[in-house]
Amino acid sequence: MGHVPLHADFAAAPAFAPGTQPDSAIRLMASSGLLTAREPLLDSQIQPASVDLRLGARAWRVRASFLPGSGATVEERIARHGLFEIDLTNGADLETGCVYVAELQERIALPSTMRGIANAKSSTGRLDVFTRVLADRSTTFDSVAPGYVGPLYAEICPGTFPIVVRKGSRLSQIRFRQGDSRLTDAETAALHAVDPLTDAAVPCFEGGVAFSVDLEGFGPDRIVGYRARQHAGIVDVDKVGAHRWKEFWTPIHAAEGAEIVLDPGAFYIMASKEAVSVPPEYSAEMVPFDPLLGELRCHYAGLFDAGFGHATANGEGSRGVLEVRCRDVPFVISHGQVLGRLVYERMAARPDALYGTAKASHYQGQSIRLGKVFDQGA
């Protein structure tokens, strides 16, 4: 189907060091046929600890979200649950409240000891676009089993804004983990002692580095966040800085008592109280939802690349941006309330290019910022 042939001799495949694979290893995967694509892989797709995934030419509107399960391919499920096919070659509108599945240009052939972990890109999560990666015969989203050989697909569910996507749009990214590279709580605390991960006065390392919400505000207007406007216009995910943010977002200002009430179903962009840092030999993942912390979901896009907040001009780290959706009932949050945790992973090697240096890093040194498609975030 147009793919470059996969590596024919797995015994001759290159060996990979334990840990999350850096950009150099991803290039090695591409040159050895373990990572292929319908069109040539672009250098701009390769990030310090991940590779961007591009939409292919076809998508399908489906009745509901699904997992293929151990006995079926994604296209077999689409044949059963698909409503109609969509040509993405010249762009297409995806409506809110609908579920779509799109083919991805990239295809992988994982060694038997390597797993793929996918997540939405930051710019995707900040648009309230819920995106998950599917693989054939998979029983979980965003996780590709060791030894998998085959295509990848993206499930796309626009939440607040209808969006325009096209062949080549990048909504998701995938990283490759050799073995279990996640740090234990004790290892995280030890790393913080030599290379601070957070500026919290009393950091908590239980289940990862705890982060809380800032409700005191930023700038002279003391903005604490933004609430997405319902029934706003359509967003083209590929047009950086082309959308007027005030047409899509309502700013939220600091309130008396440093607390606000979240409305059920509404989508908010906020910032962490703490500045965080990811050392060059590590990456991190923000845990998206913890039912013990309240009836809300925090952060759709979980990957913090190696170097995030580590090479800022002031050396004080970067705030984490929180994508928050309140669930069934109104929910009060207060300044400094813990909303999630950052789990660190050991890299197999230091990346050649860190976040915030050679790569285009739209959110390095951020306090609170909307997605890059808006003029406020360009």
pTM listed for this prediction: 0.90
Averaged pLDDT in 10-residue chunks for the chain of 378 residues:
41 81 96 95 94 98 96 96 97 97 98 94 91 96 96 96 98 95 96 94 90 86 92 95 95 87 92 92 81 63 83 65 86 90 95 73 61 78
Report the number of secondary-structure helices (H) and strands (E) in the chain: 4, 24
In this prediction, residue 313 carries a pLDDT of 44
What pLDDT shows up at residue 193?
A: 95
pLDDT value of residue 59: 98
Other beta carbons within 10 Å of 336: 14
Q: What angle do CA 99, 104, 105 make, to 5 degrees?
A: 160
DSSP string for residues in 97-157: T-EEEEEEEEEEE--TTEEEEEEE-HHHHTTTEEEEEEETT-SSTTEE-TT-EEEEEEEEE
Nearest to 133 by CA among 144, 149, 147: 144
- Ordered domains of the chain (ranges, CATH): 19-178 (2.70.40.10), 185-346 (2.70.40.10)
Nearest to 331 by CA among 254, 251, 253, 268: 268
pLDDT of residue 113: 93
Residue 46 is predicted with a pLDDT of 95
- Quote the pLDDT of residue 48: 94
pLDDT of residue 228: 96
Residue 173 CA to residue 259 CA, distance in Å, equals 34
